[in-house]
A and B are shown apart, each in its own frame.
Chain A
Amino acid sequence: MTDAEDRALLERIAKRDRLAFETFFGAHGADVHRFVRDLVRDDGLAEELTSDVMVEVWRGAGRFAGRSRVRTWVFGIAHHKAIDALRRSRGRTVPLDDLADQPSTTAGPEAAALHAAERDQLEAALASLSAEHRAVLELTYVGGFSQKEIAEVVGCPVATVKTRAFYAKGRLRDALGKAELPR
């Protein structure tokens, strides 16, 4: 779905058009669900959050300023809600940003680690990353967002996004490297 189509839908949603909302849900629901599910790693919570995000779209459609792509706006809501839920579930404020931008422990490309990565190894490696690192990986490689858009989604400067994307990959590579060691 193109951004123009998204905007047209959003205009109709602002006028309380439920068919448009259903179409919008159909177009973005699965992506939003996968994104928040990757962040919170909890199926029930992910469904609840997806629903919350879509309700927010319904309520906020009229307030959408149109400065960014609709998708960026929706993922911004999703990211905000997911991180909020994570913080609440931990019962304390986690300085995610501090954790996210530490350099990885080893350097140099280990292409083999990624080439050989089995699906569940990748899963385990992703699970070992911080939510913010998972978010930036997902947004970059699956969502196809630009640096500027990711900065908008996660609410941080562009420079931080670049650093985060770089270190997220390094940490994932480290985790995959560890997963390959015999126990």
Chain B
Amino acid sequence: MKHDVAELLPFYVNGTLEAPDRARVEAELATCAECSAELGDLRVLAENLRARAEAAPPPPQALLARTFAELAPEPTLATRLRSAWWSAPARYATAVVLVASVSAGAVAAWHLRESAGRDDRFGAPSSVVYVSRSSAPHADAMEMAAPPVKSGPRTVGAATSSVAQSHRLARTATLSLIVHDAEASRTRATDLTGALGGVVTALSDEGPASAGDVHVVHLTIEVGATRLDDALDRLAQIGTVQRREIDAEDLDASLVDQDARLRNLRREETALRQLMDKRGSVDEILTVEQKLSDVRGSIEELDAQHQRDLHRVATSTIALTLTEDHPHAAPPKPGPTARIDGAWQNGVRALADTVVALVSVLAWAVAFSPVLLGVAGLAYLAKRGIGRLRPTQT
């Protein structure tokens, strides 16, 4: 076995050799029994490693959340000041300031409400993750999300069904919707898929883990390629379209190439079978048998790929994401009105605390009043006594 060919074999097995190298390997395989044996060996190795990879444990679910946490921006100065403020035990002082500023705050809030509020769809700042790129109505969103034309050689932009048929395109779509009730919308999407003759091939429902989380559902839907546009239109009616994209990959060249290669391999298989019929030495038969099994392997591999690609042309995949428009058990929302509410509640609480403290001081004073009166009386008497003594002394 030639060393340079042996070095190419791993990449012959994984199907990534370019034509000249592939031809060289194949020429060598046709004459060298050792090479064929090595090829068989490598195929078993590849199979074992792939099986091992498939059995490998996936990363834990929490890893995505942890990674997201690393992407989150640092808390702003305002956030930190606010939390420091409320956690500080300076509530009595705060009460006074609050009561005084409630009226001024109300005026300021009107200004705030006028300037902000439009983007406050989701309330809490932590849900920035899901802030809609477009809260425009459905029709507008569709226009905005017109699929961009990609620069890749095999990719085109918005494709229509008729083009899909003549060019053998594998079309995939992404649809992100903002919905009010993720659970109900999921059921509607599933029903709709059934009605369109499609199937839901993957579903992940990330129910909110804690307050402030947003309920998100991901569905992967397969529908007949000709019904993709219809499916998208009907699915889009479930909620407000946040994003709608269609990608298309032209598989025509690759399908034609697969066809040609399959034909060649089948011809080779027939030729080898004829060779087998002509009796030769045991060595020759073994070599031909090995070669035949390799060809069969290649045919199966290529045929599987071919079928997969044909399937991709015949069916379109839709990646549907349903995001609820409100965080789970929403914490008090720091919108202008809510902020006034919060300030008012905190003010009232602080005022109550102050009153309680004052009453406590008063109660303490009443409880100690006999002692206090006694002390006061003694002081008075002492003062009078000293006053009387003074004239007798002078």
> Which A residues form the contact surface with B (CB < 8 A)?
2-5, 7-8, 17-19, 21-23, 25-26, 29-30, 33-34, 37, 46-47, 50-51, 54-55, 58, 109, 111, 114-115, 117, 119, 122-123, 137-138, 140-142, 144-147, 149, 162-163, 165-166, 169, 172-173
Residues of chain A within 8 A of B17, CB atoms compared: 146
Residues of chain B within 8 A of A19, CB atoms compared: 130, 176, 243, 321, 323
Interface string of B241-269 (1 = CB under 8 A from A): 00101010100000000000000000000
Residues of chain B within 8 A of A123, CB atoms compared: 52
- Do residues A141 and B41 form an inter-chain contact, with CB atoms below 8 A? no
- Do residues B37 and A166 form an inter-chain contact, with CB atoms below 8 A? no
Sample 16 A-B pairs with CB under 8 A, ordered by A number.
A5-B172, A19-B130, A22-B64, A25-B67, A33-B59, A34-B53, A55-B70, A114-B41, A117-B48, A141-B13, A141-B14, A142-B49, A145-B16, A146-B11, A169-B10, A169-B45
Known: A23-B319, A109-B41, A146-B16. A141 touches B10 (CB 8 A): yes
- Do residues B319 and A147 form an inter-chain contact, with CB atoms below 8 A? no
CB distance from A142 to the nearest CB of B (A): 5
Select which of A7, A50, A141, A165 is within 8 A of B50 by beta carbon: A141
Q: Can you name the residue of chain A whose Cβ is closest to the Cβ of B55?
A: A119
CB distance from B387 to the nearest CB of A (A): 85
Residues of chain B within 8 A of A29, CB atoms compared: 59, 63-64
- Do residues A50 and B42 form an inter-chain contact, with CB atoms below 8 A? no
Select which of B46, B243, B245 is within 8 A of A141 by beta carbon: B46
- Do residues A4 and B7 form an inter-chain contact, with CB atoms below 8 A? no
CB distance from B80 to the nearest CB of A (A): 23
> Which B residues form the contact surface with A (CB < 8 A)?
6-8, 10-11, 13-17, 34, 37-38, 40-42, 44-46, 48-50, 52-53, 55-56, 58-60, 63-64, 66-68, 70-71, 129-130, 133, 148, 150, 152, 154-155, 172, 174, 176, 218, 243, 245, 247, 249, 319, 321, 323
CB distance from B252 to the nearest CB of A (A): 15
- Do residues B70 and A165 form an inter-chain contact, with CB atoms below 8 A? no
Known: A109-B34, A169-B45. A51 touches B150 (CB 8 A): no
Known: A34-B56, A111-B44. A162 touches B34 (CB 8 A): no
Select which of B11, B130, B319 is within 8 A of A18 by beta carbon: B130
- Kindly state the separation between the CA atoms of A50 and B247 in the bound complex, as whole angstroms: 28
- Do residues B64 and A25 form an inter-chain contact, with CB atoms below 8 A? yes
Q: Can you name the residue of chain B whose Cβ is closest to the Cβ of A54?
A: B67
Residues of chain A within 8 A of B176, CB atoms compared: 19
- Kindly state the separation between the CA atoms of A142 and B256 in the bound complex, as whole angstroms: 26
Residues of chain A within 8 A of B172, CB atoms compared: 5
- Kindly state the separation between the CA atoms of A5 and B319 in the bound complex, as whole angstroms: 12
- Kindly state the separation between the CA atoms of A67 and B55 in the bound complex, as whole angstroms: 32
Known: A2-B249, A25-B67, A50-B63. A142 touches B53 (CB 8 A): yes
CB distance from B316 to the nearest CB of A (A): 13
Residues of chain B within 8 A of A138, CB atoms compared: 49, 53
Residues of chain A within 8 A of B247, CB atoms compared: 4-5, 8
Residues of chain A within 8 A of B6, CB atoms compared: 166
- Do residues A114 and B48 form an inter-chain contact, with CB atoms below 8 A? yes
CB distance from A153 to the nearest CB of B (A): 13
Residues of chain B within 8 A of A54, CB atoms compared: 67
- Kindly state the separation between the CA atoms of A132 and B52 in the bound complex, as whole angstroms: 18
- Do residues A4 and B50 form an inter-chain contact, with CB atoms below 8 A? no
Query: Can you add 19 more A-B contacts, CB < 8 Å, to A19-B243, A117-B48?
Result: A2-B249, A5-B247, A7-B152, A8-B150, A8-B245, A8-B247, A21-B71, A23-B174, A25-B67, A37-B56, A54-B67, A119-B52, A141-B10, A142-B49, A142-B50, A145-B16, A162-B8, A166-B10, A169-B42
